[in-house]
């Protein structure tokens, strides 16, 4: 979950916050002065809403404001308001494997989650439905990720050690030097090709622990839709983080 209050507090005394008006809305930008920064760089984390501007030590607040105003349209495109947040409730539509499904919460006694065409029915009391749904989505994510691993491991001739499903805010997946893989459960919301690409990407790191040309060649060999999937994540990835879970 995004901690909006926490973002208001600068992390260290060197950091500060400025507000930029974009389309009548005040957007908060955390300024981070960094000794290694040679220029101003504006970034947003995957969960959306949180903008950070890295800047050299000598840069002024006025320079930071001018830079952000220059990039106001980019900020407007990326900014997510609280109204855009999707909360699990009856009648809400959520993405699942790239399609839209409608949530139907039913007050039947036995708790279960059932996917029927474009309806996702959650029974067992509306109060518990969001939690039950989250558990179900994470399990579905794991099933899809495991089958993608089984598909790509023989193609790349690699073998992973451990698998963890997380709710990571900054990465869709990771691969450690001990070949342990970790993925965001939110990949189950994206089109299946995108989940496949992220799995192929992390498995290819077992061969190449970097993003060299050799690494990308491995990914592209097994995953010809690599570029489409990367673009999809760049454009739509933030939206998958707009879904708040309990
Ligand atoms: Zn990578």
pLDDT at 1: 26
* Cα-Cα-Cα-Cα dihedral sign, residues 125, 128, 131, 136: negative
C-alpha 65 to ligand 1 mean position (Å): 33
Evaluate whether 201 touches 220 at the Cβ level (below 8 Å).
no
C-alpha 201 to ligand 1 mean position (Å): 6
**Chain-centroid distance, C-alpha 229:** 14
Residue range(s) occupied by CATH 3.30.2010.10 in the chain? 142-246
pLDDT tens across 210-235, in order? Answer: 999 999 999 999 999 999 999 999 88
pLDDT tens across 77-108, in order? Answer: 777 655 567 888 899 999 999 999 999 999 87
pLDDT at 11: 47
pLDDT at 235: 86
Please give the backbone phi and psi of residue 146, each rounded to the nearest 5 degrees, phi first.
-60, -40
Distances (CA, A) of 205 to 49, 88, 125: 30, 35, 43
C-alpha 86 to ligand 1 mean position (Å): 29
**CATH architecture for segment(s) 142-246:** 2-Layer Sandwich (3.30)
C-alpha 202 to ligand 1 mean position (Å): 6
113 has which bridge partners?
Answer: 122
pLDDT at 114: 92
pLDDT at 2: 30
* Cα-Cα-Cα-Cα dihedral sign, residues 99, 102, 105, 108: negative
Distances (CA, A) of 203 to 75, 146, 148, 164: 33, 12, 10, 14
C-alpha 216 to ligand 1 mean position (Å): 9
Distances (CA, A) of 182 to 11, 172, 174, 222, 230: 27, 8, 5, 20, 18
pLDDT at 107: 86
Regions of the chain where pLDDT drops below 50 = 1-11
């Amino acid at each position: 979950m995004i901690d909006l209050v926490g973002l208001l507090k600068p992390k260290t005394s060197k950091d500060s916050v400025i507000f930029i008006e974009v389309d009548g809305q005040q957007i908060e930008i955390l300024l981070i002065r960094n000794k290694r920064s040679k220029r101003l760089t504006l970034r947003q984390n995957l969960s959306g809403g949180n903008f950070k501007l890295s800047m050299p030590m000598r840069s002024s607040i006025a320079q930071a404001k001018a830079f952000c105003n220059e990039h106001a349209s980019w900020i407007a495109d990326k900014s997510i308001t609280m109204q855009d947040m999707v909360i699990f409730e009856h009648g809400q539509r959520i993405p699942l494997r790239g399609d839209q499904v409608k949530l139907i919460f039913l007050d039947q006694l036995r708790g279960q989650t059932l996917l029927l065409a474009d309806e996702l029915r959650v029974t067992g009391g509306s109060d518990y439905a969001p939690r039950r749904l989250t558990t179900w989505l994470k399990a579905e994510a794991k099933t899809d990720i495991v089958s993608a691993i089984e598909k790509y491991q023989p193609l790349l001739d690699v073998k992973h050690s451990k698998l963890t499903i997380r709710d990571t805010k900054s990465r869709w997946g990771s691969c450690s030097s001990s070949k342990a893989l970790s993925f965001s459960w939110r990949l189950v919301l994206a089109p299946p090709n995108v989940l496949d690409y992220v799995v192929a990407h992390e498995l290819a790191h077992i061969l190449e622990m970097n993003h060299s040309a050799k690494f990308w060649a491995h990914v592209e060999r097994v995953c010809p839709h690599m570029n489409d999937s990367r673009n999809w994540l760049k454009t739509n990835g933030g939206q998958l983080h707009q879904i708040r879970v309990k």
